[in-house]
Amino acid sequence: MELGPIVLSFVVALVATLLAFVVGVPLAALLARRFPGRMVVDALVTAPMVLPPTVLGYYVLVSLGRDSPIGQAWQAVTGSTIVFTFTGLVVAAFVGALPFVVRAARAAIEDVDERLVQAARTLGATRSRAFYSVTLPLARRGIGAGVSLGFAKALGDFGVTLMISGNISGRTKTGALAIFDAVLAGDGATANGLALVMTASAVVALVFANRLVERRAR
């Protein structure tokens, strides 16, 4: 069994989850406050959870493809395209992971007792200082749970990846694509092996997420 696609999936999922964390937590903090249009922003961030992967794949292809302004700017700077590359895989996984991180982080941040934050403020902490030293530490388990879920989701992305990866062996063929190819090729041994590894990884990530949530509830 070729393990390359699984390794690739893990690396992609790690990078994508890290990005989803960096982008998702500030976004969650923003959404935890009231501002006009909050519901719309929230719906837009959550939409990837419920949209068909083909719709997402199409958006990614159109908005980041070689004809798009973003795709062209990226190519001018890096010399390579976004689609058909590692970068494209990360984008596909990131889009899937982000809503999980944002939703969990937002709930966790909203759960933090406002009085504790206000106490910090009366002691002279700036708004951002209070956020970093009070809100974030208290919300860390919920954020961790979201990150674990996002990782599991990123690890298994198929639809978006199928549409933008070019399925290149050794470069953009992820675990999920390799399973698809193996099933079609009638290669049951490879399909079973890869599917088992992917399932085990997802279960571990979910158990991890559950433990974080349970400890938070205690």
Partner 1 sequence: MKAFVGALLRAACGGMLLLAACGGQGRREVVVAAASDLTNALPELASAYYAKTGVTILPTFGASKLLATQIEQGAPFMVFMSANAAFVDDVVRSGRCDGATRALYARGHLALWARAGTTNPPRSLAELSDARFVHIAIANPETAPYGAAAQAALEHAGVWDQVAPRVVRGENIRQALQLAESGNADVAIVSRSLVIGAHGTSVDVDEALLAPIDQALVVCGPSADARAFVGWVNGAEGQGILSRWGLGR
Which range of residues in 31-39, 63-71, 101-109, 130-138 is near partner 1 by CB under 8 A?
63-71
70: contact with partner 1 by CB under 8 A:
no
Tell me which residue of 144, 66, 136, 60 sits closest to 94, measured CA to CA: 60
Q: State the binding string over 1-20 for partner 1 (x if CB under 8 A, else -).
A: --------------------
With CB under 8 A, what is the number of residues at the site for partner 1? 18
For residues 199 and 150, give the distance between their C-alpha atoms in angstroms, rounded to a whole number.
15
- Interface residue with partner 1 among 7, 44, 73, 185 (CB under 8 A) is 185
Stretch that binds partner 1, among 1-9, 76-84, 142-150, 198-206 (CB under 8 A): 76-84
168/140 Cα distance (integer angstroms): 38
3-state SS class at 24: helix
**Smallest gap from residue 185 Cβ to partner 1 (A):** 5
Assess contact for 56 and 160: CB atoms under 8 A: yes
Q: Give the single-character DSSP code of 151.
A: H
What distance in Å separates the CA atoms of residue 55 and residue 159, rounded to the nearest whole number?
A: 9
Binding residues for partner 1, rule: CB under 8 A, are: 61-62, 65-67, 81, 83-84, 162-163, 166-168, 181, 183-186
